[in-house]
Structure 1
Amino acid sequence: MVKDEAKLRNKLRKISDALSKLFEIKRREKSDPLDILIATILSQNTNDLNSHKAFKNLKDKFPDFESLANADLREIERAIKVGGLARQKAKRIKNLLIELKKKHGGFDLSFLKDLSVEDGIKFLTSFKGVGLKTAGCVLLFGFDKEVFPVDTHIHRILNRVGIVKTKTPEETFFAVGKLIPDKLSYHLHTGLIKFGRAICKARDPLCGVCPIYKICEFEMKSFYKKKTKDVEVNKNSALEFILLDEV
């Protein structure tokens, strides 16, 4: 391992330790990976609370994957309307299930546990509407594999603190994957999401109450520290709610 990589790994460990102290980060029991895939599709371009409502509505209306795959698109749209982009997501979910059954004879992703992370991502991203983040979430939350999904919060934070210098979440995914310390993917992923919602916001970050201020390389941190030094961290249930822990 090169010296710079060792430093970055150590920095990531410090970040993970700090966020674990600040937020409640407990690993839940793993759910059906196909449920996780569908829930992650529903989470695209909306918040976790609305996507969770959409997922619950979908499961109540269609309790098994066979009935969902055979359902009329308009019925699926009505069930998931609360999550936004209902027409687009309904079509993706239905087509995914139909294609999965054609390829593997059923609605089961358990075979992914025996594949490498790279092969698992390659398989999942072969479906329309499934990108790197969605595929990574299925492997992390469904199989506890050492993969580190990157959303907009994580992309923003890792650039601010100086772990990477990238322009997109996809670039961050490939740049940071080899740097994540062993067994820290889940805690660091969920911790950074909560951190991005509550403190390291896109606008007006709360640098005055940031637990990793000293190791952060954000060039505007002194300005925002003065501006937010007396602000209290808002850790309400909506900010801490992680959809894939509740599927």
Structure 2
Amino acid sequence: MSAPAPVMPALRRLRAHFGPIPALRPERPIDCLVRTILSQNTSDVNSDRAYRGLRRRFRSWDAVRRAPLAEIANAIRSGGLANIKAPRIRGALETIKQRDGNYSLRALRGMDAGAAIASLTEIKGIGAKTAACVLLFALGMPVMPVDTHVFRVAGRLGWIRPRTRIEAAREDLERIIPAGRILDFHLYLIDLGRAMCRPGRPRCRPCPLSRLCPAAELQ
């Protein structure tokens, strides 16, 4: 079996192909949590539209928590799966309010990654990927969210051990990717997974990592 792709040369090739990652605007953890729930199983365009609709309709997260589910669902309808995401959002807000007394999630800042993920995933409807997104994007913690794109691309690059479940892949990736590069790799692997490293028949020939990827030899 060929060796895994070298990490830093892969990063340089991805940056050259897709361009540098733009600076991201800091976001409050609770805002990021709701936004990430809305992003589940839909496009970025649709989830952004749903988030804007939610913020226009309700003045505060406390108002969302106290609102009827039908009103929340109507506000986020453009994002898809509104009848599933509305109770998930309201339930998360209710749990956080009862547990913490507010919506700041400030306690996460003093936790290590494992404890912070555990704190978020004890909220019904919040999985490891959603928790990791909050920690990475809102708090700048070096935690790798693993979605299907990241899992597929990283597996083909040899960065995830064989037969590793998607839920356990985060630790494999954090072990080999420098902490300060987690965000870049997360976004680049998603871009690559959407554009070229697709399920079934990946487009290896134009892929910027084809000369490094052990799976490209098999296509």
Matched, 1:117 2:113: yes
Q: Which residue of 2 aligns with 1:27?
A: 23
Q: Which residue of 1 aligns with 2:13?
A: 18
The CA distance in 1 between the partners of 2:134 and 2:202, in whole Å, is: 30
The CA distance in 1 between the partners of 2:200 and 2:31, in whole Å, is: 33
CA RMSD of aligned residues (A): 1.7
- Number of aligned residue pairs: give it: 215
The CA distance in 2 between the partners of 1:74 and 1:59, in whole Å, is: 15
Question: How many Å apart are 1:222 and its aligned residue?
Answer: 6.0
TM-score of the superposed pair, with normalisation by structure 2: 0.92
The superposition leaves residues 152-211 of structure 1 with CA deviations (integer Å, 9 ceiling, x where unpaired) of 000000111111224532132232222221300000101111111112112432211111
The CA distance in 1 between the partners of 2:112 and 2:179, in whole Å, is: 16
Please say if residues 36 and 142 of structure 1, whose CA atoms lie closer than 8 Å, have aligned partners that are also in contact: yes
The CA distance in 2 between the partners of 1:45 and 1:112, in whole Å, is: 26
SS of 2:76's partner is: helix
Question: Which one of the candidate residues 26, 37, 43 is aligned to 1:47?
Answer: 43
Question: Which one of the candidate residues 182, 189, 194 is aligned to 2:191?
Answer: 194
The CA distance in 2 between the partners of 1:222 and 1:131, in whole Å, is: 33
Segments of 5+ residues of structure 2 without an aligned counterpart are none
SS of 1:130's partner is: coil
Please say if residues 159 and 172 of structure 2, whose CA atoms lie closer than 8 Å, have aligned partners that are also in contact: no
The CA distance in 2 between the partners of 1:182 and 1:73, in whole Å, is: 39
Matched, 1:95 2:91: yes
The CA distance in 1 between the partners of 2:158 and 2:67, in whole Å, is: 47
The CA distance in 2 between the partners of 1:196 and 1:63, in whole Å, is: 37
The superposition leaves residues 199-241 of structure 1 with CA deviations (integer Å, 9 ceiling, x where unpaired) of 211243221111111110115x564xxxxxxxxxxxxxxxxxx
Q: Which residue of 1 aligns with 2:55?
A: 59
The CA distance in 1 between the partners of 2:58 and 2:9, in whole Å, is: 44
- Percent identity over the alignment is 35
The CA distance in 1 between the partners of 2:23 and 2:211, in whole Å, is: 28
The CA distance in 2 between the partners of 1:17 and 1:170, in whole Å, is: 27
The CA distance in 1 between the partners of 2:25 and 2:116, in whole Å, is: 21
The CA distance in 2 between the partners of 1:50 and 1:183, in whole Å, is: 30
Question: Which one of the candidate residues 176, 193, 207 is aligned to 1:210?
Answer: 207
The CA distance in 2 between the partners of 1:118 and 1:27, in whole Å, is: 26
SS of 2:146's partner is: coil
Please say if residues 143 and 182 of structure 2, whose CA atoms lie closer than 8 Å, have aligned partners that are also in contact: yes
Please say if residues 57 and 79 of structure 1, whose CA atoms lie closer than 8 Å, have aligned partners that are also in contact: yes
Please say if residues 159 and 166 of structure 1, whose CA atoms lie closer than 8 Å, have aligned partners that are also in contact: no
